[in-house]
Structure 1
Amino acid sequence: MKTKILLAAVAAAVISLSGCAGMSNQQVGTGVGAVAGGVAGNALFGGTVGTVGGAAAGALIGNEVGRRR
């Protein structure tokens, strides 16, 4: 059940990000990094702290990667 909710949240995030056509590479990188980091943090550490920590780390990394493009 928890996996289905997580997958639904990821799918919703991907769909919502695909609708933002006017975003810069840096903004897209931040958003995608936050979602991917949140999923990875939840999978590795579980719980709210793992999810939030992963999302924060992913957003920082995605921001830097998007800035360099």
Structure 2
Amino acid sequence: MNTKKILAVKCAAIAAVLSLSACAGMNNQDKSAVAGAGIGAVGGAVLTGGSPIGTVGGAAVGGFIGNEVGKKKE
């Protein structure tokens, strides 16, 4: 892997960890959306070889899925 790809994956992982640490006042749905976005960003970066578009796309898809999973069933 070249340096750019390694840096992109590390930045995505750090962003995911930092975003999860700010979840103290969030409800379950918000936490699920943030976790999904973090996981999606890392997955998108890995699958596309560190492409910024893949990272952002993965974060968007992961955030949407996390949001839907975190909804309370009424």
TM-score (norm 2): 0.72
Size of the alignment, in residue pairs? 69
More displaced stretch, 58-67 vs 14-23: 14-23
Which is higher, the Rg of structure 1 or of structure 2? 2
More displaced stretch, 6-15 vs 26-35: 6-15
Tell me the distance in 2 between the aligned counterparts of 1:52 and 1:8.
12
Q: Within the alignment, does 1:51 sit opposite 2:55 as a pair?
A: yes
Q: Percent identity?
A: 51
TM-score (norm 1): 0.77
Supply the RMSD in Å over aligned alpha carbons. 2.1
CA positional deviation for 1:31: 0.5
Tell me the distance in 2 between the aligned counterparts of 1:45 and 1:5.
11
Higher helix share: 1
Question: Is the alpha carbon distance of 1:39 and 1:18 closer, same or farther for their aligned partners in structure 2, counting shifts above 3 Å?
Answer: same
